[in-house]
Chain A
Amino acid sequence: MAINVSSCFSSVLIRSFIYSDYTQVVWIHKEPEAHYTEYMPSKYYEELEHTADWALHVWGANFEELLRNAAAGMQHLAGIEPSLEDGVTRVFELEAQDREQMLVRWLEELLFHIEARHAAFSVQVIEVTGDRRLVASVVETPASPPKKAIKAVTFHNLRVEDTPRGVEATIVFDV
């Protein structure tokens, strides 16, 4: 279920800037009490066989959960090990044409910060409006460099599908 996060974001926002033409990243105040929380259990994603790259099958009760579980699965694949240091709460805002592009942009966003700042991310709250706009509150924790390099999140045969168990997708990563 989507959670309304606008009220909790507004009180702590201190600055914002544009990283690129499609992604607005809003940084909010570092809360010392915010800690890294455990990744979702692996039952929400599974690695599929792929000759050269990585394929990750992910599912969730709804699209927001799918996004959350995909983030956890990608970090698991990359071998991210968060430190025990305090985390920083951040807000990501993204726009996309549809759910598939939203999923790719969301994972790319995290991947950029994982590579640039050696960070791990735990999703606190995530809200998607009309399949086109995402607002997510995450806790960023310092982490070891990724053990495995992910070059890119691809659109290869990507379909976000509604199924009897919720929403599912298989994401291929270029590695």
Chain B
Amino acid sequence: MITKQAFEQVSPVEWEIPRGFREDMRVPVRVFANSRLLESALKDKSIEQAVNAATLPGLVGRVLVMPDVHQGYGFPIGGVAASKLPDGVISPGAIGYDINCGVRLLASSVSYTEAEPLLKDLASSLYANCPSGVGVKGSVPLDKRQLEEVCRKGAAWAMKNGYGRKEDLERTEEQGGLDGADPSSVGARAVERGRPQLGTLGAGNHFIEVDVIEEIFHPEAASAMGLEQGRLAVQIHCGSRGFGHQICSDYVHEFQSAVQRYGIRLPDRELVCAPLNTPEGRRYLSAMACAANYAFANRQILAHHARRSFEETFAGRLKGWDLHQVYDIAHNMGKIEEHTLDGEKVTVCVHRKGATRAFGPGFAGLPKEYLAIGQPVLVPGSMGTGSWVLLGTERSMAVSFGSTCHGAGRTMSRSQAKRTIRGDQLRQHLEDKGVRVRAGSMPGLAEEAPQAYKDVDAVVEVVVQAGIAAKVARLRPVAVVKG
């Protein structure tokens, strides 16, 4: 069991476990947390999992742990690790089964005060237009050839087929499509699962949420993003559905034998990996890109449905109902990026699992309106509290491979949440607080209760104090749709 004594305190919000803590560690582990959040992280196996992750071959710098960390499987949720090319590894379990799970934020000029009487209708319309739940079929069934196009083109495929606008792509990470996606690297079962599910939200912690922009902290950035205090915005949180889950599962199996071939010894079989310069490593990277592009297309289609709901609810009644895209960002992804480490430029594969890319000002991949301010970072909290819009910073580039937190982070198990919270009572409580709820499952709602999560404001304070993000705006939920 790892205790606080294992850490060296680097700053009020940075704690480091040195490489010598365990013989098999290849790099140190640095945790971004205040004292209270660190103690919370030590209650489960998050930090032990981060130490295990530090044994992956080819890692450089440090394994980084965000303040919203919680125990996952193999690699902690809220972890970042970078392996150096050409022979560093890629690990599917360090990216997660829901490849390119991420968040899209759209904003409107609709005033919350004026829209308030219509929010029930809006919630119902979103629930009707955006298919949600377990194994639910989507609004855009695909044949095999179309699925391959989605794999190659991502959100651009959705736009070409009438589900979006050109400017949506410009305001999406990687313009909504990763290079190198080769559908031949995807197995038959993943294709079977992926074909009917495009344009679905799924279940679990995925949601569509209508928020009011409660407070602006960075007027220049908020203006560039089109965020106005008191106006409505929409967050869409989902990923690559069964398509991505199956791809990850297939490669976790394939890599069980790859680690034996390449003589890689690991403390946990869920961390299986392959060097990026091997056929196995390259094939997974390509398959992961297919899943990532599917997820970008999925959120693009759901954004289209959200726009339909805004039009159905507000057109002819209120002005400014059109939704413009603020940004779309992944928080489960492996990316080939260039970073500076000890003054030297290195090309690395950055694994972010429950962590968000947070590139600072000047990054060439940003749309021109964000070049001077940095990349928007979207941090959804729990459905009863709030969410944040942040910015990547120069320090995030220097100390965290351009990464920051991704949410509030769980603190209570799902079974405990179900034992202590009743879904119907929670729904009533949220409705009383002014949050309209549309959910397919009351036990599922209970598992996602605000009490099951850390305080998102405390998480954000840590990343801001550490300098790996800057505040732009705080959002407050007014309607939630869950599967």
- Chain A residues with Cβ below 8 Å from B192 are 19, 116
Task: Let me know if A116 and B193 touch, CB within 8 A.
Answer: yes
User: Lowest 5 A-B CB distances belong to which pairs?
Assistant: A156-B73, A155-B269, A154-B73, A149-B203, A156-B270
Task: Let me know if B98 and A151 touch, CB within 8 A.
Answer: yes
A residues apposed to B, CB below 8 Å: 19-23, 47, 49-54, 79, 97, 100-101, 104-105, 108, 112, 114-116, 118, 145-149, 151-158, 172, 174-175
Task: Let me know if A52 and B269 touch, CB within 8 A.
Answer: no
B223 near A: Cβ within 8 Å? no
Task: Let me know if B97 and A51 touch, CB within 8 A.
Answer: no
Q: How far is the CA of A84 from the CA of B152 in the complex (A)?
A: 44
Residues of A contacting B: mostly: loop
Task: Let me know if A151 and B97 touch, CB within 8 A.
Answer: yes
A79 — nearest CB in chain B belongs to which residue? B443
B residues apposed to A, CB below 8 Å: 44, 46, 70-74, 77, 93, 96-98, 133-136, 187-189, 192-193, 202-204, 242, 245-246, 248-250, 252-253, 256-257, 268-270, 272, 410-416, 441, 443-444, 483
Q: How far is the CA of A12 from the CA of B93 in the complex (A)?
A: 40
How many whole Å from B247's CB to the nearest CB in chain A? 10
How many whole Å from B254's CB to the nearest CB in chain A? 9
- Chain B residues with Cβ below 8 Å from A105 are 253
- Chain B residues with Cβ below 8 Å from A152 are 97, 245, 248-249
Known: A97-B256, A112-B189, A155-B270. A20 touches B204 (CB 8 A): no
Q: How far is the CA of A49 from the CA of B416 in the complex (A)?
A: 8
Task: Let me know if B188 and A51 touch, CB within 8 A.
Answer: no
Which of A49, A50, A147 is the one whose CB lies under 8 Å from B134?
Answer: A147
Apart from the given pairs A115-B242, A145-B136, A174-B98, 18 other A-B contacts in the complex at a CB distance below 8 Å: A20-B189, A51-B71, A52-B72, A53-B71, A101-B253, A104-B253, A145-B134, A146-B134, A147-B441, A151-B98, A151-B245, A152-B248, A154-B270, A156-B268, A157-B268, A157-B270, A158-B269, A158-B270
Task: Let me know if B441 and A148 touch, CB within 8 A.
Answer: yes
How many whole Å from A158's CB to the nearest CB in chain B? 6
- Chain B residues with Cβ below 8 Å from A50 are 71, 413-415
Residue of A19, A21, A49, A156 with most partner-chain B CB within 10 A? A156
A-B contacts, 16 of them at CB < 8 A, read: A19-B192, A49-B413, A49-B415, A51-B70, A51-B71, A51-B413, A53-B71, A101-B253, A108-B249, A112-B246, A148-B204, A151-B98, A152-B249, A153-B249, A172-B73, A174-B245
